[in-house]
Amino acid sequence: MSCIRKIACTDPLIDFVSPNNLISERCEILNIDLLTVTIAELDFVSQYKMIVKNKDNFHGYVSWFDCYFSCTDNKICLSTSPYGQQTHWKQTIL
């Protein structure tokens, strides 16, 4: 996908994505602990494997994040996933 890298990195689309429009399984790219992460750890390369579950046209990658607040009595998750409740964060489409 190197042919679209320059365009995808300069012009991402921020919008809601329906889970019905996703053709692959979820794929975690990075998991960080916000309490202990260093600046150096934020410059990363990640190996990942996308497993396509539906035969359809591919238009780009959808990214989102989940933030877990585990320092409270009740574990709280702020999710920007298309599988969860819509928030103002939306998703990023590359």
Residues 6+ positions from 67 with CB-CB distance below 8 Å: 34, 77, 78, 79
Residue 16: domain span: 1-94
Q: What is the pTM of this model?
A: 0.76
Determine the longest span between alpha carbons in the chain, in angstroms: 47
Is residue 74 exposed (0-12), middle (13-18) or buried (19+ Cβ within 10 Å)?
Answer: exposed
Higher pLDDT, 32 or 8: 32
- CATH at residue 32: 2.70.160.11
Q: Which two tokens stand for residue 85?
A: 């409740």
Quick check: 91 and 22 in contact, CB under 8 A?
no
Q: Which two tokens stand for residue 65?
A: 């994040």
How many domains would you assign to the chain?
1
Predicted confidence at residue 83, as pLDDT, reads 94
Q: Which two tokens stand for residue 61?
A: 């990658």
Predicted confidence at residue 25, as pLDDT, reads 93
| 33-91 residue pLDDT tens | 988 999 999 999 999 898 999 888 888 899 999 998 877 788 889 999 999 999 999 99
